[in-house]
Amino acid sequence: MRTTILNFFVTLFFTTILTQFHRRPKPVFTCGGNFTGDSGIIGSQGYPGVYPPNTKCVWRITVPRGKMVSLSFRVLDLESDLCRYDFVDVYDGHINRQRLGRFCGTSRPGALVTNGNKMQVTMVSDANTAGSGFLAVFAAVRPNEKGDRYCGGLLDRSSGSLKTPNWPEKDYPAGVTCTWHIVAPRNQIIELRFEKFDVERDNYCRYDHVAIFNGEEASEARRIGRFCGDSPPAPIYSDGNHLLIQFLSDLSLTADGFIGHYQFRPNSSVSTRAPPTSTTPTTPAMTTGPVALTYSEALCRQKCRRTGVIDSHYCSSNFVITGTLVSAAVREESVHAVLSIIGVYKQGSLAIQQAGKSLSARVVLLCRKCPLVRRGLNYIVMGHTDEEGRGVITPSNFVMAFKGNRHRELSVLKNIHC
């Protein structure tokens, strides 16, 4: 009899809870907002409906002081095109923030964890949208709390590994920042060796790179080196019991990535340690010094009309390449573009990056309306370079659509002496 009465009350209790749950109004997700507390849910505007076009929404999350924000995506369904048009950015903090990653498509990352008690989530959509957007849960976690993270985190075991996201199945994603903090006991140091290493190649490791620091903070005074290219750095040894490794990828080319292994060693086990120098790929000798060119209103008031022919511009140009325009971003009155290189006929001081077998170059079109270019099309580009090795294009430089029959003409010019 008692058992029957007990079962009756248990059933009644759970029935009441479920009834109250189903009666709760469904959450309405708006475009951004401020969220505080130990946990919560955020979602794209109108979720689970299709997110609206031409929007930029910002969610600012704050958890109690002394804790960190952990964000986990439950749903991710955005247009997938290298995250160039529709995407979600997640940042560590609200001001002077570091991006933890950029996401699109339907592949969800692991938990994203901040270093402080604030996080910012930004979603951008263009004119064409596809998908239901995202749904994510945030929670306050203790500092150094372990968990299944997207990348980075605290490493305090006597040995272990670190690797780029997607390793080894495919290239690391664009627009991600990962930070690993390795902590050894006070009387030990850290040895780090890279087994495989393939990060977008650049003369000065300015774009995708790995930066390694002695200590707990990313201080330039404590930086051991900055690395890129496809040659693994020499073994690295910390000065003390802390080592910080930062990996950053920009929004253009990606590569295989890396896997590294660390282990703790007694402080006296390595008597001579020559610090490795930054990995900077070798390039052909530069034939022409960089030319300083900047935007001005007078420059961009010139008529946008190409004059002359390929021959007449070849010798006066610092570089001559053909390539496919893979990205273009308007910054103030100029366009910052990336060209996937088809052919190099005159390099000059143009910096060329390499990721796997792909080569690319960065070009700044000082006047955004001249010349007019479109993503996905092939161009012949002739211009000059700035101090950073970027191509700089003015209305007077020669840019035209590239077709295969122009290759022979350019190849002949390549052999002439200007």
CATH topology of domain 33-266: Jelly Rolls (2.60.120)
pLDDT at residue number 123: 95
The average pLDDT across 49-74 equals 92
The average pLDDT across 46-54 equals 91
Higher-confidence residue of 92 and 417: namely 92
Of all residues in the chain, the percent with pLDDT exceeding 90 is: 32
**How many angstroms separate the Cα of 331 from the Cα of each of 206, 293, 328?**
19, 16, 10
At 284-331, the pLDDT tens digits run 333 333 333 677 777 787 777 667 778 778 888 889 999 999 888 888
Higher-confidence residue of 205 and 295: namely 205
Closest-CA residue to 265 (of 321, 385, 184, 155): 184
Token pair recorded at residue 219: 């201080």
At 208-263, the pLDDT tens digits run 899 999 998 888 888 998 999 888 888 999 999 999 999 988 767 788 999 999 99
Overall pTM > 0.85: no
Which residue is associated with the tokens 């140009």? 317
The helix (H) or strand (E) run that includes residue 412 is helix 406-414
pLDDT at residue number 331: 81
Which residues in the chain are classed under CATH 2.60.120.290? Answer: 33-266
CATH of 297-414, picked from 3.40.640.10, 2.60.40.420, 1.10.10.10, 2.40.50.120, is 2.40.50.120
Mean pLDDT of the residues in the chain: 81
| Nearest-angstrom CA–CA distance, 112 and 219 | 23
pLDDT at residue number 271: 47
The average pLDDT across 53-72 equals 93
